[in-house]
């Protein structure tokens, strides 16, 4: 499938179908309105939607849940978010569920993201998800169904009423592809493999001893628990790729802040609900080795970075991956959300100097502005932070 350049990175897509997958989750089938083919998508990546709001628009990202080989449409599978008292909460999810209709059009940007299936690995695969975090895993499962790799699709959610895409997953199950479901609060008639949540004992019972590639996605409490449990079972960090639902962060940092007993035990009865909103996605530290720090990023050139508002200084020596990380390492707390050049939350004024983007922003900032989450300095730089 060829890549199609488009103005401002977006193309118009038509909602071809809406399908309720559960009481709270709906799939949206999006077809391009032009005659050009879909952009290529890797299993696990997401697309960005331009969602209208009263004063303009916001950008929301949703994992592609369809088969990556699908040539006619992208499918996104979205949970409708509600706030206290049942009031609408998620801007993007409620607009999709409540306002968009079959036949309406949506501006869509090309698939992005570094959380995707490694097609070149020969290792068996564990697809480990909580709640609506199964959406990129289903895309990966489709990609794996014709491979010769063993696959373990392990999913936790509250009960069958909120379990999306179950039949689709079960249709792929065979001697090589195992699917197991854990319900936290099962109801009468629900069929699942265990109750509570996925914990260390459950993983030990279903996974033979092997060297796995693990893909992890879901709410933060679920992921923190699973990240610790996987390492307890001997899975090195280099084999655990993860994707956040919510504001980007590092599982290593979150695990270090959590009480070790809570992370290690993760008892089913104490687990948090496993469904949260999908907003921005990222994969900050997934490939760090268990025994060593990530290799330092080589700076384009050495130079001092000055943060004018705070009066702080930092030397760019390649130990940080981006200007955002450099600012955080200097004790500053700049705004951010996606950490991948999509949301523009980290945009600030570039007072002087030049930067280079190591990941191209979805929408390039105007002159004199810079996205610090995906850029590095070219020599001395002054930022208005």
Q: How confident is the model at residue 360, as a pLDDT?
A: 87
Classify 348 as helix, strand or coil: strand
Residue 127: per-residue pLDDT: 98
- pLDDT score, position 247: 53
| Nearest-10 Cα torsion for 10, 11, 17, 23 | 0
pLDDT, one tens digit per residue, over 68-119 is: 999 999 999 999 987 545 444 578 899 999 999 999 999 999 999 889 999 9
Task: Classify domain 125-270 by CATH number.
Answer: 3.40.50.80
pLDDT of residue 87: 44
Whether the CA torsion 331, 246, 85, 272 is positive or negative: it is negative
What is the DSSP secondary structure assignment for residue 301, as one 8-state letter? B
Do the beta carbons of residue 170 and residue 138 sit within 8 Å?
no
Lowest-pLDDT range of 181-185, 193-197, 241-245, 374-378: 241-245
User: Per residue in 251-284, pLDDT tens?
Assistant: 766 666 654 434 333 333 333 222 222 223 333 2
Highest CATH level, class, for 303-383? alpha beta
**Could you tell me the residue ranges of all domains in the chain?**
7-112, 125-270, 303-383
Measure the CA–CA gap between 332 and 352, rounded to whole angstroms: 19
Confidence category of residue 336, pLDDT binned at 50, 70, 90: confident
CA atoms within 13 A on the CB side of 203: 28
pLDDT score, position 258: 59
Average confidence (pLDDT) over 356-381: 92
Q: What's the pLDDT tens digit per position in 136-176? A: 999 999 999 999 999 999 999 999 999 999 999 999 999 99
Q: What is the pLDDT of residue 114?
A: 87
Whether the domain at 7-112 and the domain at 125-270 fall into the same CATH topology = no
The overall average pLDDT reported for the chain is: 84
In the structure, what pLDDT confidence band is assigned to residue 33 with cuts at 50, 70 and 90? very high
Fold exhibited by the domain 7-112 = Elongation Factor Tu (Ef-tu); domain 3 (2.40.30)
∠ at Cα 248 (144, 13), nearest 5°? Answer: 60
Q: Which pTM was predicted?
A: 0.77
Under 8 Å between Cβ of 155 and 140: no
What is the pLDDT, as a whole number, of residue 262?
Answer: 43
Q: Do 27 and 19 contact (CB within 8 A), yes or no?
A: yes
Among 134, 132, 128, 295, residue whose Cα is nearest residue 198:
128
Please state, in angstroms and rounded to a whole number, the distance separating the CA atoms of residues 46 and 65.
9
Output the six-digit token pair for 104: 């309406």
**Selected residue with higher pLDDT from 20 and 338:** 20
Strand-by-strand arrangement of the 303-307 sheet: 312-316, 303-307, 381-383, 347-352, 369-371
195-233 residue pLDDT tens: 998 999 999 999 999 999 999 999 888 999 999 999 999
Note the pLDDT of residue 251: 72
Look at residues 10, 70, 20 and name the one whose alpha carbon lies nearest to residue 40: 70
């Amino acid at each position: 499938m060829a890549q199609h350049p488009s103005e401002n990175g977006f193309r118009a897509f038509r909602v071809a179908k809406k399908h309720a997958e559960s009481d709270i989750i709906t799939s949206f089938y999006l077809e391009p309105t032009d005659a050009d083919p879909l952009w290529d998508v890797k299993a696990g990546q997401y697309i960005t939607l331009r969602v209208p709001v009263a004063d303009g628009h916001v950008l929301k990202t949703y994992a592609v849940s369809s088969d990556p080989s699908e040539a006619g449409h992208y499918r996104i599978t979205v949970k409708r978010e509600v706030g206290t008292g049942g009031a609408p909460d998620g801007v993007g999810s409620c607009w999709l569920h409540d306002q968009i209709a079959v036949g309406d059009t949506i501006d869509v940007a090309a698939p992005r993201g570094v959380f995707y299936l490694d097609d070149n690995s020969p290792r068996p695969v564990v697809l480990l998800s909580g709640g609506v975090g199964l959406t990129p895993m289903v895309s990966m499962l489709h990609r794996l169904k014709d491979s010769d790799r063993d696959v373990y699709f392990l999913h936790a959610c509250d009960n069958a009423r909120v379990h999306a895409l179950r039949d689709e997953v079960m249709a792929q199950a065979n001697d090589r592809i195992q699917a197991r479901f854990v319900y936290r609060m099962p109801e009468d008639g629900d069929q699942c493999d265990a109750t509570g949540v996925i914990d260390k004992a459950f993983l030990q019972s279903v996974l033979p001893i092997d060297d796995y590639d693990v893909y992890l996605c879901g709410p933060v409490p679920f992921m923190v628990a699973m990240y610790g449990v996987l390492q307890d079972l001997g899975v090195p960090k280099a084999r655990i790729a993860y994707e956040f639902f919510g504001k980007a962060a590092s599982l290593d940092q979150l695990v270090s802040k959590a009480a070790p007993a809570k992370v290690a035990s993760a008892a089913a009865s104490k687990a948090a609900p496993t469904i949260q909103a999908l907003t921005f996605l990222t994969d900050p530290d997934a490939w760090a080795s268990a025994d060593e720090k990530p290799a330092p990023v080589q700076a384009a050139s050495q130079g001092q970075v000055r943060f004018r508002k705070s009066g702080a200084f930092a030397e760019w020596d390649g130990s940080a991956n981006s200007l955002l990380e450099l600012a955080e390492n200097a004790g500053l707390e700049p705004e951010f959300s996606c950490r991948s050049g999509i949301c523009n939350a980290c945009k600030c004024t570039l007072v002087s100097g030049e930067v280079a983007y190591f990941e191209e922003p979805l929408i390039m900032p105007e002159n004199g502005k810079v996205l610090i989450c995906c850029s590095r300095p070219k020599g001395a730089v002054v930022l208005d932070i």
